[in-house]
Each structure stands twice: as C-alpha cells, then as structure tokens.
Chains A and B, each alone.
Chain A
Amino acid sequence: MRLSYYPGCSLEATGKEYDQSSRAVCTALGIHLAEIDDWNCCGATSAHSINSTLALALPARNLLIAERAGFDVVTPCAACYNRLKRAEHALRHGQDPDRLVGSAFGDFQGKITVLSLLEVVVKRVGFDEIAAHVRRPLNGLKVVSYYGCLLVRPPEITGFDSAENPVLLDQLMTELGAEVKSWSCKTDCCGASSALASPQVAAGMAGRLLEMAAEAGADALVTACPLCQTNLELHRPPGTPRIPSFYFTELLGLAFGLPGVSLWLRRHLVNPFPLLQELTLAY
C-alpha cells in the first residue's frame, strides 16, 4: 500500500515519537509512506479562530500537492487530520474557499481522500493482519482508549468511527493483548487549546481525565493526538494520578517487537518504564 504522508508541525517537535513510531509501524505493515513534498502547516486551532477562509485554504494546498502525486493522504495527528478532512469536504462540496484556493493553487479533482492513521490501520490493514504481526502481546496492560475531539467530530466529516462511542481503538488494543477498560470519557475534550493562554483550564481538564482513567482501573491512556498526549503529560496537575499516555502506534510497535521502541518512550514526560517493567513488557 502506498500513501502520501502528512506529518504536520507537532510531529517534528512535541510529538516526535509519534512520527517515529508511525513510520516504523507502517514499514512493518508494508505501507509505503511518501512525505507530501513541501507540505505546509494545516493552520491548526489558530487559523480557524481568526479566519475561516485561511483555515480551509492552508490544508487545501497540501491536498492539491498530494493529488498530483496520486495517493491518498494519511496523517497520524488527529488535529491535522481534522483540518485536512474539513478542507477535503469543503473542496468536494464547492464551498467558499474554492474560489480562493482555485485562484491560488489550481483545482481539486477529488481523486484522493484524507485518512487518519488509525483508520488506515484498522480499516485498510485490518485486525487479522495486525494480529499476525503480534510477537509480544501486551498481557496485563490495562488501558482506556482516548480519542479526544478531533478524530470523531464533526461526524458528517470524519465518520470512520462512532462520534459518541467509538470502538475501533478498543478493538485494536484488544488485538494487541491489552485489557481495555470501559470509561465514559473517550471523546471528551482534553483542553489542550487553552494550554498557553489559560494553563489552569488545560490543567483542570487534563486532571479530570486522569482521575477518571484511574477510577476506571487503567494504568495508561492510549491516544492518537499529539496535542492530547502533551497536554495529559505536561499539564497534569500536582496530586493527580501519574498515568502515562501512549500513542497507539507505540503500543503497536511494542506488541510487534519493533526495534527503537525504548527510544520513543524515553521522550515521554511521564516515565512509562516502571509500568512496562512491572508487566515485563519492556525490552
């Protein structure tokens, strides 16, 4: 399988280990990733907060470059996925930015689509293939899956899993041998958008999620978003449970027995090694 790869700015900095683990897992699954040539920032929260046209035009440039390459676009970052997917939706339905994007970069033919890496792994690769790659099942690891906002909403645009009770990440973790705990916060907001301007709000939101995860009996959260992962580990208020947050790709790598896993995990702000050592999962 060949796909155009959009890393996005976070995956070059705060989410570096998400980039590394995504690329490694794709290689292991026989997915060939070609980075979109000369990609630009998707605009994230800031562009849509101050200018709705810009918020669609920025990701649109990436889609037009990718369309020339001819392969569907995959991105691990939930936030980039959301922005790219919205741009795809707007271009397909001939909405406002069309005129702007058309005059700046040319027309979108609609031959390619945007996918999140989670969607590629569960829908295009499939659970059977994943199970066949598991060398070191994650026995004993109790996790809650945490989708956050951007992978599942708005449902008419994202649409690959349920908006209220998505289950694909749960199923994926079960395939890897982890014990998935049920909780009601799967798609709750982590508050990362307030991290800089109102850190106490971000901390309150992160703290609540960590408390709820602990109450559900989880030792760790599994996420697909670099903003959530950073917020959960960086803005954890003092006194809340010290629970690590893993990228789902890191747990795939761990279960596949890929080299380099410990290098990814060493970048975490909440040290996950004591937990993994206790369960004899570290290597």
Chain B
Amino acid sequence: MVAYGKGLVQDGDFSRVVRKKSGQPIERCYQCQKCAAGCLLSEYFDYAPNQIVRMIQLGLRDRVLQSNTIWLCSGCQTCGARCPNGVDIAAVMDVLKEMAIAAGINGGAPGGVSSFHQMFVDDIRRRGRINEALLLARYSLKTHRIWADLGAGWALFKKGKLPLFSSRVRRRQDLHRLFLELDRQQWGELA
C-alpha cells in the first residue's frame, strides 16, 4: 500500500485480485479506447471504461470501487465484443461490484443500486421467482420514492402488467440447498 498526496492510495495487490477473480487479461490493455468510444453509458460515468482498466492496473482501488461507473455499466458487452485484447470489461465490472459490496460501498443511487440487486436475489431465495409488483413496491418504499415510482407502477398495473399474485417454485428445498452450498463455499474462500 503506497499513499500519495490528495489521498491517492495505491494497492499493489488490487490488480492481481481483480485479474484472478474476473479471469480477464487486464494487463494487456494498451489504452486504445475502443471500449470507451462504443460505450453509450459513458456519458453518465465518472470514469470511462478504459480509465477504469488503467486505474486497476495502477492499483487505485478506492477510486475504482467508489466510482459510479461500476454501478451504471449495464453489462451490455459492447466493449468486450470489440476489445482488441480480449478484455471483457463487463465481467470486470461485476467483480468490482462484488468487491465494493464486500467493502461496504453501495452504489451512488438513492438507497443504493446494490440494495436493489440484493432484494432481487432475496426474492429468488424465498420464492424462486420474481414478483415484479412486490419488488417494485418494496424498492420504492426503501428508497423513499414511492410517489415518484407510483406513476410508472400504476401505468403498468392498469395494463395488467403487474399482477399482485404470481407463481412460485414448488421445490424450494432446491433453492435452499443451492444458497446453503453457496454460503458454505464463500466461507471456505474467506477462511
């Protein structure tokens, strides 16, 4: 760990860990910026995809994990399909999100983007399938946007697109086994 002025901290291990977890050859990036040129979301990002890759190479862990890029990236894969060096940036972004959650950094949006993903996965754990109406309602409540989201929800509801009752998985013991196994392996990884 090396600290520079203005709070810039270099974590020598960061790039190795991201490379290993994502399986992506981050070291090969030569900053051609083809990824950034084709990224439609980059106008909303604080750092363009090529900048994220360079910051990983430099070990700028905190800047990367705190950037809104990792949460706004839609995983559209345009960059990965075009990168001349075969860097699948979307896969890298997924790993960065996992690391940000583990570090307690929760996306820039109100209530956090990761809390939406967590609610979604909790729904799967409980029911095996998603009930879009309930998920929308719970997320809006949590983010205190119930009035703003009500319009969209109502528009869908009127069209019969948000049924309140929906089907579930019957053999929920399958999902229990899966999540248990997952937890067990993750504990194994940490231990």
Which A residues form the contact surface with B (CB < 8 A)? Answer: 9-10, 12-16, 38-41, 43-55, 57-58, 61, 100, 103-105, 149, 153-155, 163-164, 187-189, 191-194, 196-199, 201, 204-205, 208, 230, 234-235, 266-269
Contact = CB atoms under 8 A, between A and B. Distances in A.
8 contacts: A38-B169, A41-B124, A149-B78, A153-B78, A189-B74, A189-B78, A205-B40, A267-B159
Of the candidates A40, A149, A268, the one having the most CB atoms from chain B within 10 angstroms of its own CB is A40
Given A46-B117, A46-B120, A194-B74, 5 more contacts: A50-B117, A51-B98, A154-B81, A196-B136, A197-B71
B84 to A, nearest CB: 14
Judged by DSSP, the binding face of B is: helix
Contacts of B47: none
Given A14-B156, A43-B124, A149-B74, A49 B114 contact: yes
Interface of B: 40-41, 44, 71-72, 74-78, 80-81, 88, 94-95, 97-98, 101, 107, 109-114, 116-118, 120-121, 123-124, 128-133, 136, 139, 149, 152, 155-156, 159-163, 166-167, 169-171, 174-175, 177-178, 181-182, 185
Contacts of B72: 194, 198, 201
A194 B133 CA distance: 17
A43 B123 CA distance: 10
A90 to B, nearest CB: 12
Nearest to A193: B74
Given A41-B124, A201-B41, A16 B178 contact: no
B178 A61 contact: yes
Contacts of B112: 197
A58 B128 CA distance: 9
A269 B76 contact: no
A47 B121 contact: yes
Nearest to B136: A196
Nearest to B115: A197
A52 B98 contact: yes
The 9 A-B pairs of least Cβ separation, nearest first, read A46-B120, A189-B76, A153-B77, A46-B117, A197-B109, A149-B76, A9-B130, A193-B74, A13-B132
A57 B161 contact: no
Contacts, number: 172
A43 B113 CA distance: 16
A196 B163 contact: no
A40 B175 contact: yes
A40 B74 contact: no
Given A50-B97, A61-B178, A191-B74, A100 B133 contact: no
Contacts of B98: 50-52
A196 to B, nearest CB: 6
Of the candidates B124, B136, B139, the one having the most CB atoms from chain A within 10 angstroms of its own CB is B124
Given A10-B132, A50-B118, A197-B116, A16 B185 contact: no
B161 A16 contact: yes
B139 A196 contact: yes
Contact of B116 (A192, A196, A267): A196
A39 B174 CA distance: 11
B182 A13 contact: no
Contacts of A54: 121, 178, 182
B162 A13 contact: yes
A94 to B, nearest CB: 14
